[in-house]
Amino acid sequence: MTAANTNKDRVFIFDTTLRDGEQSPGATMTLEEKLQVAETLDDMGVDIIEAGFPIASNGDFEAVVAVAKQVKKATVAGLARAISADIDRAGEAVRHARKGRIHTFVSTSPIHLAHQMKKTEDEVIEIIARTVAQARNLIDDVEWSAMDATRTPIEFLMRCVETAIKAGATTINLPDTVGYAIPEEHFAMFKTIIGKVPDADKAIFSVHCHNDLGLAVANSLAGVAGGARQIECTINGLGERAGNAALEEVVMALRTRADAIPYHTHIETTHLARASRTVSAAANFPVQYNKAIVGKNAFAHESGIHQDGMLKNAETYEIMTPESVGIKATTLVMGKHSGRAAFKDKLKELGYELGDNAFQEAFVRFKDLADRKKHVYDADIVALVDDEVGSVGDRIRLIAMEVVSKTGGVHRCDMTLSIDGEEKSVTYEGTGSVDAIFNAIKEAVGQSPHLVLYAVDGVTGGTDAQAGAHVRLELNGRIASGNAAEPDTLVASARAYLNAYNRLLIERGAAAQGAMAG
């Protein structure tokens, strides 16, 4: 991909959910989940999928290779520090892709050079020239990033960019690594560099914004106005600290306000809601209710004046339709007499394509839910399938549980778990029902992770609604999140805790984790 063969009004979407998004504490994904997310992104029309950081661990390397082999349309990128071994490893991983890219980066700001790199400006220039050239010798598509670009003096940043382009970089990324910029500054930085750096027209310029001040999307759009033609973003704004620019927000901003921002992407926006659900389930990160575009309340209207306006003309309070992002009204669709064919059709309508085993497990759970719940809605099926996907491969499973609670009295949990195929039963008394359940699990597994977060919400309305439980645990410096949906709140809570604990058991390499770009 080069600047010469792109439409000047086209904005490329670079999705880094599988790399920067997975740096969110607790957002670890299994290989199967990464492949599912990659397939969703590819189907949606994402231009570049950053699949991971191959040098970080064997698991990361294998995940990038697997994504590279699977993806049919998008370019697949692997991240590499400005270190020879990193670049070779990234090149080895993405060579399996139909279209591969090496994305290499180095710090450029004074604070990073003094305290992290411990290098002079001239030494950094030499590193850029050498490592970008190395990457370009391995592959034609090379992206170079200036880590902490927005806190780098503009004159030195221009020297770095000129060096990277001369060495063969085809994309230049100037990330707001710590979410420090404001839109006016971001616009000016891109406008100045693109206007002054020799041969800037030979590369595509890219924005990569973090959301520490809540300005990631605004800064991304300002960068595009300043001449950038690639936006780096994640589904649901997933990412470390306050996250990244949300893909669904930048895409719909460009589409909805084409009058003021006259640029376009190749994203099929009707896939956005499905992508949001897929990533939320895979990463075990619930989407906040009032999240723009894909949140549960994004198209909900409660106040009387809003409802009156909506009934008369939807455009009074909606600047885009729910259907444009793939959201359909919650509908009463199925019951206990519904068969496999009807269930499969409903799953397809909701954006799910399950393998035979996964479909059978989901169907069994659906029938059980239909027996226990008076009305089954689309949202119930979504929660059920996402819960099933999030629990695949769990080493510890709930077999049986009985909870006894008394006002002002003892709360006791009798629980049987399957741990690596062997059943273990425990009894625990706690200060409350949930306390007894969580402590029973800890006693059974012999570990005591710290409970960072516990929350419960209703999937739909009514007293028979499924409860969606969310748990985040920390153990030995690692954080994992778990979700579960059940008509019984206590069962949902137990399964969410177990889901989080199972994720703590997934081995992840920690090599190079502290030096990632973006």
- Residue ranges for the known binding site for Mn(2+) are 20, 208, 210, 244
Query: CB within 8 A of 269, min separation 6: which ones?
Result: 251, 252, 255, 324, 325, 326
Residue 453 has a CB neighbour count (10 Å cut-off) of 14
Contacts of 183-188 with CB under 8 Å at 24 or more apart are 183/215, 183/218, 183/219, 183/221, 183/222, 184/222, 185/150, 186/150, 186/219, 186/222, 186/223, 186/226, 187/222, 187/223, 187/225, 187/226, 188/226
What is the secondary structure of 348-394 as a DSSP string? HHTT----HHHHHHHHHHHHHHHHH-S-EEHHHHHHHHHHHHHTTT-
Rounded Cα gap, residues 244 and 235, in angstroms: 9
* Residue (of 281, 312, 491, 509) closest to 399 by Cα position: 491
Q: Please report, in range form, the residues annotated as the binding site.
A: 20, 208, 210, 244
Does residue 270 contact residue 324 with C-beta atoms inside 8 Å? yes
Structure tokens at 422: 């062997």
Q: Which residues pair with 377 in a beta bridge?
A: 332
Rounded Cα gap, residues 178 and 196, in angstroms: 25
Dihedral through CA 165, CA 167, CA 168, CA 174, nearest 10?
Answer: -40
What does the radius of gyration of the chain's CA atoms come to, in whole angstroms?
Answer: 24
Burial class (CB in 10 A: 0-12, 13-18, 19+), 408: exposed
- ∠ CA 11-17-18, nearest 5°, is 125
Rounded Cα gap, residues 52 and 19, in angstroms: 4
